[in-house]
Amino acid sequence: MHLDLAADAPAADPIAFDDFLKVDIRIGTILRAEPYPEARKPSLKLEIDFGPTIGVKKSSAQIATLYAPEDLTGRQIAAVVNFPPRQIGKFMSEVLTLGFADEEGRVVLFAADRPVPNGSRLF
């Protein structure tokens, strides 16, 4: 499956609302971030707290070109929490951290503009 991530890409084919609801996107707070130099693209390993129901999950995120690990602790971000875990090199990524590509193709994190409870679902 190929995704066209360019800003001028056409909209994807329509889906039913029930299909959208199958993708579980939640907010979480980054507890820890560290470099992941073994990754093919500049990445960070994240530990994210999604609240008491989902708990703390790990993610490999291709965000190292714009974000320093020390600047991410305490920051809330959005992630898909119901994809199966994915092996990224030697690291098991449990959630898909969400972002948008900027003009240079670097990933900009997707986050709420105000604090919300960890585990809150996007709707």
* 2-58 pLDDT per residue, tens: 456 667 889 999 999 999 999 999 999 999 999 999 888 889 999 999 999 999 999
* 94-123 pLDDT per residue, tens: 999 999 999 999 999 999 999 999 999 998
* The total number of residues written for the chain in this structure: 123
User: How many Cα atoms sit within 13 Å of 106 on the Cβ side?
Assistant: 8
pLDDT of residue 3: 57
Q: Is the pLDDT of residue 1 over 50?
A: no
pLDDT of residue 4: 63
Pairing of strands 91-93, 96-97: unpaired
Alpha-carbon torsion (123, 50, 34, 44), positive or negative = negative
* 54-84 pLDDT per residue, tens: 999 999 999 999 999 999 999 999 999 999 9
Nearest to 65 by CA among 88, 45, 42: 42
pLDDT of residue 76: 98
- Contact in structure between 89 and 81 (CB atoms under 8 Å): no
pLDDT of residue 111: 92
Of the options 2.60.40.420, 3.40.50.300, 2.40.50.140, 2.40.100.10, the CATH number for the domain spanning 20-109: 2.40.50.140
Instruction: Sketch the domain layout of the chain as residue ranges.
Output: 20-109
pLDDT of residue 2: 47
CB proximity list for 104: less than 8 A, separation 6 or greater? none
